[in-house]
Structure formats: structure tokens, C-alpha cells
Amino acid sequence: MTLRTPWPTCTTCQAIPLAFFQNGVINKPHQLWLTFSAFAGSASRGCHTCTLLYEAVREPFKHRLDDEPVHLERATVNSDGTQAVALTVDLASLPNRGTWDESLWKRSDGQQLSFQFVPIADFKYVRDVRDVPQGARAFKGLVSLYAEDDGTFTYIKQSLTNCLANHKTCNRVIFPLSGTASQQDTTVNIVHGNHGPVVAPTRLVYVGSEDSKDPPKLVDGQECLFNGGHLVLSYCWGMTPKDAPWQLTMMTMQQFSTEIPLSNLPQTLHDAIIWTRKLGERYIWIDSMCILQDSKEDWQREASRMASIYGSATMTLVAASSSVYGGMSDRRNPLRNSAASLFLQDGSSKFTIYLLPNGQPRNAPPPPPTDSRGWCYQEDLLSSRLVKVTQKSVLWQCVGDGSNPATRAQGLEQLSKHPPYRWYTLWYRLIERYSNKSLTYPKDRLLAFHGIACDKAGSAYLAGFLKSDPWASLLWCRDENQIRQRPGRRYEEYVAPTWSWASIDAPVLFYEANARHWRKPQLDPSAMDPELRHAEVQSVSFFDTGAVKGGSIEISAYVAITRTASVQPFLFNTRQGAHTYGRRNCVDPLTGEALGLIVFDIALEAKDDMMLCCALLQTADMGLWEKNGTAGLGLALSVQEATSKHLKCTRVGYVQFTSAFGALCHRRCIELS
């Protein structure tokens, strides 16, 4: 008999070698995560094992270990022979070593564990399912009804009534569907409401009532037009298993239109439906339940409407402090209280081990403010009314709410004055999500974003490049967290110029676009800023579908010819033992001085002794400078042809520069294709 948790396990945890848990095998520390922040990220995305481990990390460590590799070590606790594992870090290399609390180095019960490194959390584990305590088996019981204070809902309802009656600026659709998207899409549901065009989503979740005869179900979005509009849920997807029963697919469609079983939903989605009911509303739009997750066409069409769906919603509920598993208002993930089953396999031998939830501090101090994870919630920008739900509070924010001038009202005022700039953040976010999905639909990456991009950017949108936001749209980077599963590959046929994220099959992240969401919007201009001279693409067909057969960008930027070298010395807090897979330093070819770290777009293309042209596209903000010494961001380019006038190049990677780069570089004109 085995006990399988219904929650996902990340590939990193699945890859823990079987031998690690076997008696008699030499106990070698297993490097679980390259950095603590990657580990924390996996926990927030919902990996059960990572969550269990993360929630048990002692509080003082949580905020100081961003770049430390995290190891798993096994030990036998002397007294009763129980097996235990510890999550460890090597503190010897940490700065300010003297400030660590000495007491953390020893277990409180005085037993010595044979750990090489300093444990930051430890666990018992068992291999026999009968040894899993009853209390830790409560997988089904994880989804619980909150006994929310009725005052919360009264507050939200009153705020809405007041807003509808008194705020002129709130009562309009911020981003009505317009331009090419509506012309091309004949099935779009637009009606003219009192305040301009209102867009009904294609589908909505009807939330039903507590009566079992009136269950939640999926309905035609038009229903809401005559029944008081719809809400939207904004949340972090987290790690979602492929066949998650709460996702809308061809398979679940039939079932969803009869009934969406509440008990199948992860906590956040479950709560959102209950909250919608309690607010007296009937419909809510939740992306994973209203967009067919296994239909390319559906995904493309709905993505192109997303801005309007948010823009015309009555209000957006923001689950601001957790992933899809955490619930609307509980920051601490309920998964921490149940045993995590790890199914491990090595050739023909396989077994399940159970990590038990022991040792976690029950009185941990509150987590840092959720806005540090603001990149999760860029959709918020598109909504005129937000209900922000954090662990501690529920906050109403709307454009016309003068009581809160410093924050959202101001942001949205700006937004309505400069729509394209802020609007792009949603677009980048969508690409990040979509690039994760690209295994399913590898070839149509540009098409998916054509509608939504053209709607706002018009002709300035060129194969993934936004002429009006050039540097952020070029400064994408392969997502290194997924390097093992998705090291990146180029397509056999031509899809896009190399400067476009669409040219490679790999998940990408827009660091620059994400960063400016929370720092001040624009960096001060610098003499070293690049200039965009020209940009063009050749379309495949007469119809503007977004597909291209060629394209080039001409820029003037500070560049230096560099040589690649194995990451030695390690730059930017990557230390001895850090992976070199897909990365190289770029160094001064004459002196060998390190100028930057290149993350190659395709991991296998990273080699030593390549001569590459590195171009500075952005001087880094002070935050990045203080954090790890990054002085600038740019691209690594392979020079195809050099003339006195310019360098013809193709893109091979993303670069973080050290300040040494500044002394060597000079301005050149580059043609990128």
C-alpha cells in the first residue's frame, strides 16, 4: 500500500537519487537546489516536498540565504535509530558569520547529527506507510472552509457601492477591446454598456450557492451581461500538475458545464468561489478554468482578450500572498502539515519515502510584505477595482478612491495617461507563461501574442520586439530554474530573428520588465544607453498574422569583444560548485579579467574560448548593484560580419556585466538579425 499525495512534486525533488535514502550507502550531501531563492520559488509554486522543507526552515535563515546552494543530508539520530534528513547550507562562506546565533548550530535536544553543513531544517522520514502518523495523512482535509469575518464582506460590498455611485473614473472600461483584435475576431462579445463597450468573457464560472442543487459550473460568458457583471481572480499559478482536475480541458469541459466539484479545487480557487458568493456576485473569471488549457486556438483567442476581461470586470480579487494552493488569506501553506510522499526510481528499483512534517516552528514571525512578489500580479494593473487579500488584511483599492492617493489611485492615474508602458507588463507576463507551455505548441509562438500586442502596440510590434519598449523586450533570459528539463533548442525551421524570445524553444523570463514593476519605473538616462536606429520584419503573408520570414534591428550601443571562459572565478554570487551548464564568463581576451556572466539562450551552445561581442543595453539599477555587483545588462552576440560601419550579429545569450566592462567598451553600430 502506498499513500500518494494528490499535490505535485517538482522535478528537482523527483530527481533525488534513490541511493540517498538507502542504509549503508555512503552519505554524500545531495545538492538539492542551486540557490535558496530557487528553492523558495519551488515551494511557492506548490511542490509538496519543497513546501514541507521550506516551511520548516528556521526563520532567521529564510531572509539571508538567497544565493546559497541548499543541500540535503541524511543522518541517523543516535538514540532510537530513526532516520532523519536535514536541509543544510555551508555557512563558512557566508559573510558576517559572527552574527549568526550560535544556538542555531546545535539541536535543542542536544543530540548530535552527523551533518557536515549547518542544518537549517530537519525531518524524520519513514519508508513504511504504516509509520506515517494519522495527523499527517490529512491530504483530503487540506481544503477547508474559512470562517471569514462577515465584516470583511460588508467592507468590500460597501466600498463597491460607494465606488459605483461616486467614482466617475472607476466606472469605465480601462482597456476596451479595440483595433485589430476586434476586427479580426468576429465572435467577440461586445455590448455597449452605460459606460462604453463592455466585453463579456467567452466563459465564466457561475458560482452557484450552498444548495447542492445549485452547484458552481462553467457557463457562457454572455450570461453576465444581464446579470450584474463578473469578477476576476488574480493569483499565482504555482506548480500545476499536467492533468490537474481543476483545469479546463477538452476532457473536463463536459463535467464543468454540469458541475465544477468544489472538492477538486486547490484552496485559492475554492476560496475565490466562496468569496464571490459571499459578496453577492454570481460570476468569476479564473484563467485556468475559463481558458481551454489544451487548445492552442482557444488560448490564443482568450489571451488576446485578457486585457479587456480584466478591464471590464466589476472587481478583481487578488490572492496576494500565496500560490494556487495557499488559499485567499492564509500565507502559510497548509501542505506543510501533511506528509510529503516522494516516489523515487533508479532503474528497476523504486520506492516511496514519506517526509514527515516535524520540527517546524509554530510561532514563526510574519513573512515579509507581499508586494516584494508583485510580479505575480501585474494583471492588477488592468483592473479598475481591486480587492487585495493578504494574510493579515483585506484592502479595497480603486482609481477614484481618494483616501488612498499614494498607492493605487496614483498608479492607475498614471496608467491611464501612459497606457502602453504599464500595459506591457501584462504582455511580458503572458509570454513567460506561454513560453512555459511551448512544448505543446512549439511553432506558433508569435501568433499567440499577435492579437494582444497589436491591440496596443500596432505596427510597433515586430516578431516579439516592441519598438516602443525596445530594451525590456530584448532583455529576456532563458529561465535557468528549468535548465534541466528545458535547456533550450533552436527550431529547425525559421520562426523568428535570434533577438526574439520566439526564436528558441525554452521558457524565458523578462528580468528587466519584471524589475521595473517594483522599482521606480524608469532608470535615469545614462550616456551609455543604447539607441534604436531602425527595426523591421518581413511578414510571411499579406495578411498580418504575426508570422515572419526575416527581420533585423539596428542599434547603437556600447560593446566589447570578449572571450568566453568556464565560470572561474564565479561571478555574481555563484560560487564554487555552481553549475556551468549553459553559462560562461566573458573575459577580456588580453588580460583575462572577468567582464560579465553569459547565460546562453541554448545551454548546449555554451563553450569556452568563443569570441563574442557583448553589448550593453541597460545600466543596472542600484538594487542590483548592491545585491551582487551587477553593473549592467545586455546581450552576447555572435559576429557574422564586421564592416567599418557596423557589426552584423546574431544573439546567443543574456549578459550581466561587471563594472570592468565599462572601461573596455566603446560605441558601435550593430545590426541584429
Binding site for Zn ion (CB under 5 A): 10, 13, 42, 47, 49-50, 163, 167, 170, 398, 400
Smaller CB distance to Zn ion: residue 42 or 234?
42
Q: Could you write out the DSSP letters of every residue in 417-472? A: HSHHHHHHHHHHHHHHHHHHTTTTSTT-HHHHHHHHHHHHHGGGEETTEETTSHHH
Residue 111 identity: Q
Distances (CA, A) of 655 to 332, 452, 526, 565, 597: 36, 29, 18, 14, 6
Q: In whole angstroms, how close is the CB of 21 to Zn ion at the nearest point?
A: 15
Residue 159 vs 308, nearer CB to Zn ion? 159
CB of 150 to Zn ion, least distance (A): 23
In sequence order, what are the beta bridge partners of 538?
Answer: 550
What is the 3-state secondary structure of 119-177?
EEEEEEEECCHHHCCHHHHCCHHHCCCCCCCHHHHHHHHHHHHHHHHHCCCCCCCCCCC
Three-class secondary structure of residue 225 per DSSP? helix
Nearest distance in Å: CB 170, Zn ion: 3
Q: For Zn ion, give the closer residue by CB, 160 or 652.
A: 160
CB closer to Zn ion, 76 vs 352: 352
In the complex, minimum distance from the CB of residue 515 to Zn ion, in angstroms, rounded to a whole number: 26
Residues whose CB falls within 8 Å of the CB of residue 14, separated by 6 or more in sequence, listed in order: 342, 343, 344
Could you tell me which of 586, 590, 580, 673 has the C-alpha nearest to residue 636? 586
Report the sign of the C-alpha dihedral through residues 376, 381, 382, 386, in that order.
positive
CB of 400 to Zn ion, least distance (A): 4
Q: Please give the grid coordinates belonging to residue 620.
A: 543596472
Q: Which CB atom, from 85 or from 248, has the smaller least distance to Zn ion?
A: 85
Closest separation in Å from C-beta 539 to Zn ion: 42
Nearer to Zn ion, 167 or 450 (CB): 167
Long-range contacts: 132-136, Cβ < 8 Å, 24+? 132/3, 132/339, 132/354, 132/356, 133/339, 133/356, 135/337, 136/337, 136/338, 136/339, 136/354, 136/356, 136/357
For helices 48-56 and 36-44, what crossing angle results, to 10°?
Answer: 120
CB of 616 to Zn ion, least distance (A): 36
Nearest approach in angstroms of CB 9 to Zn ion is: 6
- Shortest CB 482 distance to Zn ion, Å: 13
CA distance 185 to 451: 9
Residue 332: CB minimum distance to Zn ion, A: 17
- 363 CB-contact burial (10 Å; exposed 0-12 / middle 13-18 / buried 19+): exposed
Nearest to 28 by CA among 15, 14, 39, 17: 17
Which CB, 171 or 252, lies closer to Zn ion? 171
Interatomic CA distance for residues 383 and 232, integer angstroms = 9
Nearer to Zn ion, 49 or 630 (CB): 49
118's enclosing H/E stretch is strand 118-126
Q: Which CB sits closer to Zn ion, 103 or 403?
A: 403
How many Å apart are CA 51 and CA 333, to the nearest integer? 7
- For residue 567, give Cα distances in angstroms to 562, 590, 592: 14, 17, 12
Cβ proximity to Zn ion, 50 vs 121, nearer residue: 50
Residue number, 70 or 474, with CB nearest to Zn ion: 70
Smallest gap from Cβ 540 to Zn ion, in A, equals: 42
Tell me how far apart the 2 most distant CA atoms of the chain are, in Å: 77
